[in-house]
Structures are given as C-alpha cells and as structure tokens.
Amino acid sequence: MNQPSAPDSTQWFSELLKSQQAALGPFAADQAFAPWMQAATAFTSWQQETMKAMTAFWPMSMAAAIPGFPGAVNVAADQGDRRFSAEAWTRNPGFDMLSKSYLTQAQGLRQALEAAPMDERTKAQWGFLLRQVVDALSPANCLLTNPEALQTAVDTGGRSLIEGARLFLEDFAKGRVSMTDETAFEVGKNVARSPGSVVFENEIFQLIQYAPSTEHVKRTPLLVVPPCINKFYILDLQPENSLVAYAASQGHTVFLVSWRNVDASLGHLTWDDYQQQGVMKAIEVAREIAGSDQVNALGFCIGGSLLATTLAVMAAKGEADKVASMTLLTTLLDFSDTGELGLMITPQSMALRESTIGKGGVLHGRELAHMFAALRANDLIWPYVVNGYLQGKAPPPFDLLYWNADDSNLPGPLACFFMRQGYLENKLRVPGAVKLCGVPLDLRQVKQPAFLYASREDHIVPWKSAYASTQLLGGPLTFVLGASGHIAGVINPPAKKKRSYWELPPVDADAAAPSPEAEVQLPLPADPEHWFKQAQQYPGSWWTAWSDWLALQGGDDEVPARAELGNATYPPIEPAPGRYVKAKAT
C-alpha cells in the first residue's frame, strides 16, 4: 500500500520562517542586524542541506553515543526544556546523539556570545536573535529528525501526516500557528459572559456597566481600564476566573472600558485621544451613572500606563479629586529595564515606524502577536508546530489561548508614542519631559492611594521594573508581588487556592494576613531586592489582599444596588460584552 507523503518540509519551514521574520521585523531597519536577517532568509535551504547531512551523520552518532566511546556527548537539556523529554529520543542512540549534539552546539554558541567584547544591551540583542535561530533549528522541529513524529506516522499508517498537512493548510490560511481549537469559543457565549450592558460608546471605546451581584454596593464605583493591545475579556474569561465577577461579588459597581479594534479609519488616534476621549470620558460617565463624586480606577499593562498618565494630566488641570484610588497591574512607568521586549525597539526601527505609521496608520495585532510569541518561541510557537504539523494532533480548547489569538490593532500614532517615549527614551518618568493634553507630565502629582501589582516571572513587564513605579508616584503606596507570569499571575482567583503572593508584613507580627491600614503607612524602599527581603509570602491569590485594600478606598459607605443599569442620560445600548470586542482585526 502506498503511504501518504509528508508535507514538503521546505514549504512549511518557509512559512514558519515568515512568522519568525515578522517577529524580528522591528530589527529589519537596523543595519547592525543585517547579517542576521540575511542568515534567517537562507534558513530554509540550510535546513534542507542539514537533513541530507544527517543521513550520513547518524551511523557515527550511534557509535559515539555508546557509553565510554571517546567524544561521547553527555549534555542534558535545561530544566523545563520538554523538546527531548520523550522516551523516543533516548531509546534510539542516533536520535539521542542528535539531540545532545544540538544542545551542545547551542550551548557553545551562547557561551561564545557571552564572551564577545560588546556592551550588555548589544549582547542581549544578539542573544535574542541567536535564540530565535537556534530554537528554529531544533531537530524536534523537523519530521525527518523527530523520532516521535516518525513513530506516530508509522503507528497511524501515515494518517498523522495527512492530518498534519490539513492543520498546516488551515494555519497557512490564517497566517499564524494555532494554539487552541478556536471553534470551541464565542465571545459573549462561553467567554466574556458576565451580565451587564453597554451604557456609552464613542469611536474609541464602549463602556460596559456590569450587573451587581450583591444587595448593597460601595458608593464609589470601580472603573477598569484594560490594555488596548488586547481584548478586555482576559479579565472575564469564565465565571470561575473572572476578575470582573470577583469585584462585583465584593460589592463594587464595575464599569469596564472595551477598546475599539481600530482600522485604517481610526489610524490617526493619539495617546492624548485615548486619555481624553477614552479614560477621562469613562470616568465622567461612570461617576454620573453611579451618582458618585469619585471612582476607583484599575489599569492593566498598557492600560495602567494610560491610566497613570491620565491621572497626572487630571492633577495638572485640578481634576484629581474625581479618582479616589488607582490600581496598576503589571504596568510600566519606568522603562529602564524592559526585558527582551525592549530589545526589539532600536532608534533605526523606531524611525522606520514613525515614517510609516507615526502620523497615521495601524500597527496590526498579528505583528504584535508574533513579537510576543517570539519572546517564548519554545512555548508559544514550536510545540504547536511539532504537535500539529508533524504529529497531526489538533490543539485542545483553551480559553486563555483563544483570547491570546484574538488580535487587536493599535493606531500608529499611539503605538509610536508609547514605544518612543517609553521603551526607547524612557521619558514618562522624567517630570516635564513630555507634554500630554497640553500640560507637562509629572507622575509625582498622582497622589491617590495606589495598589501596584507585579508578577514574579513576568517576561513582558519584569517585576522589578513594575516596582520602580513606587519611586515615581506621589501618594501612599502598596506593592504586591504575585507568583507566575504576565497573565497567569494576574488571573488567579482565590477559590482555586493556587500560587502565592508577597507583601510587606503588617505592623502586628501576630496578624494572620497583611493589614492594608498598616501597609500604606510603611515607606517602600527604592531597591526592589530590599523590599523582597522584607516581604512575607502568603499562600493563595493576591486578589484577596487587593479586595481588602480596595474596600478602604473612597470610604465604606454603601447604597442599595440598582436593578437598572445606566440612567436617563446614558441608557443601555446593547447587552455586554458589546459589539466592539467582537470585531476581528483585519
């Protein structure tokens, strides 16, 4: 019986290369990286020649893998590297030698780069590019050098290859690697399910008011400003892990900004527009509907940066008293250390961005998704290539990864402002260095009580960089560090009793949990390591510490929860989650 042929390896590696090149795109304008870009372009033919050489190399590899054989390779994969963990890699001496040879060469390249005479930033940039190439060249990523994939093809009579080709063609049509079964989810049906209504909209955002889940609510409502770089429903994935639902259960009237997924017609919007027509307008509407003089405001990631700069502008204009408190989740205000993400933004690439979309245009969500995936390619790209295209295994449904693939576009002027004033020049932290909405920006004028949260393993907003905000803001501060990463650390509901968090201990050493009243009175040291040495670890979710803190902001006055959402001026427009969040990036 004729066996089905495998998908052409040259073709599918070529398409994966396009994805990698999209991730490395910000470097393209920098002549210093030209040799690497040329090397990446030649990747497909190199891979093909390597596969031919491997057939001659295997007999020697098998002999060299014999214990005691001179020159045998004994290097092991790093802890957490699952690429070669399956038994098939060690059962066959040839494949065992192949994986170890690859790891040895990769280690040698890293060591050579580390010894190179160059400054740390340049070395880190080369290190990032080196990792992209080395990760892509892993023998696990190619059918002919992956014993698991070959065995699966034999066991299934070639059906895995047919299914892998089908999955590849589907992803080729999408322009990206699938990480989950996207047909299993629908926004508003089984994600973003919290009941509520859209009570206001303009060209930039819709404002959602969520239905109360308690008989009485705090008089001061909570306004949530999610990142405009992603869809808001990461904060409302499922009822059991929804921060929105949790806040409502704690007696808060919750309003949330749902940003528009912009197209070319909105490509002129600036950071000022998002402050004035976005955050400030949302504050005004939430106050009026709730009948409150103030709101408590929460910002997540770039939404936190947008919120903090907006409050500084409001302070300069004498409007600071409209906001009782500020919560910032995994937010950068000081960009001194931005991790690998900051390495992608160079003066040359920034100039190219500004010349193309800086005065009008769109930074496409797909490009941003490639960039973020490249930070963790061995977690977010290659496992799905191997399992899907090589082994014919469709990814299972996972709500978080569905959200991750739901791209959002950004207006070019807004994106360029944030990249230049933040990542490239780090001016937001310098009083008066930037003008916003016609006034000099000074974060020291943000004097509201602030709760700052960071995730210890965050690869997008390093926790020490998030901690640096404690030295910029002018009000009483609480800093909490949670376990895990940028998303998993934030979305950690108390009911699951997972992970832990760190906070300065209460004044009363016999207390069982941190005391928010005592915490805000303690001065925070400038050195994050000094803070960490003083902090105490508590089991469970940071949400409880935040809830205790938030309960004290804006007073403890409660009012009966309203049965009707909106008011006469701002009547309900449509049920939550609204139209804007359902729009797909184009």
Tens of pLDDT, residue by residue over 186-225, are: 999 999 999 999 999 999 999 999 999 999 999 999 999 9
Query: Taking residues 464-473, what's their average pLDDT?
Result: 97
In this structure, the number of other CB atoms found within 10 A of the CB of residue 124 comes to 16
The three-class DSSP label of residue 405 is coil
Query: Taking residues 360-375, what's their average pLDDT?
Result: 89
The three-class DSSP label of residue 127 is helix
Q: Does residue 355 surpass a pLDDT of 60?
A: yes
Q: Partners of 501 in the beta sheet?
A: 482, 538
> Radius of gyration (Cα) for the chain, nearest Å?
26
pLDDT tens-place string over residues 476-535:
999 999 999 999 999 999 998 999 999 999 855 445 455 444 444 457 999 999 999 999
What mean pLDDT value characterizes the chain? 86
- Least confident piece of the model among 103-107, 240-244, 567-571: 103-107
Query: Taking residues 35-58, what's their average pLDDT?
Result: 44
| Percent share of the chain, pLDDT over 90 | 69
Q: Is 301 an annotated catalytic residue? A: yes
What's the pLDDT score for residue 507? 59
Q: Does residue 16 surpass a pLDDT of 80?
A: no
What's the pLDDT score for residue 46? 42
pLDDT tens-place string over residues 114-150:
888 888 888 888 898 899 999 999 999 999 999 999 9
pLDDT band with cut points at 50, 70 and 90 for residue 563: confident
C-beta separation of 441 from 428 below 8 A: yes
pLDDT band with cut points at 50, 70 and 90 for residue 368: confident
Q: Tell me, rounded to whole angstroms, the distance of Cα 41 from its chain centroid.
A: 28
pTM for the whole thing?
A: 0.85
581: buried, middle or exposed (CB in 10 Å: 19+, 13-18, 0-12)?
Answer: buried
Q: State the Cα–Cα distance between residues 401 and 399, nearest whole angstrom.
A: 6
What's the pLDDT score for residue 47? 44
The three-class DSSP label of residue 414 is helix
CA distances from 160 to 11, 176, 382 (A): 18, 20, 17
What's the pLDDT score for residue 68? 46
Q: From the candidates 142, 301, 416, 437, which is the catalytic residue?
A: 301
pLDDT tens-place string over residues 149-188:
999 999 999 999 999 999 999 999 888 899 999 999 999 9
559: Cβ–Cβ under 8 A, 6 or more apart, which residues?
Answer: 216, 217, 219, 291
pLDDT band with cut points at 50, 70 and 90 for residue 80: low
What's the pLDDT score for residue 300? 98
Q: Does residue 11 surpass a pLDDT of 80?
A: no
Q: Partners of 453 in the beta sheet?
A: 329, 480
413: Cβ–Cβ under 8 A, 6 or more apart, which residues?
Answer: 267, 268, 269, 270, 271, 357, 358, 359, 360
What's the pLDDT score for residue 369? 86
Residue listed under structure tokens 């191997």:
386
Residue ranges of domains in the chain, CATH in brackets: 9-175 (no CATH), 196-344+408-582 (3.40.50.1820)
pLDDT tens-place string over residues 308-327:
999 999 999 999 999 999 99
Residue listed under structure tokens 């989810």:
185
What's the pLDDT score for residue 440? 97
Element (H, E) at 176: none
391: Cβ–Cβ under 8 A, 6 or more apart, which residues?
Answer: 148, 149, 152, 160, 164
351: Cβ–Cβ under 8 A, 6 or more apart, which residues?
Answer: 29
What's the pLDDT score for residue 44? 41
Q: Does residue 402 surpass a pLDDT of 50?
A: yes
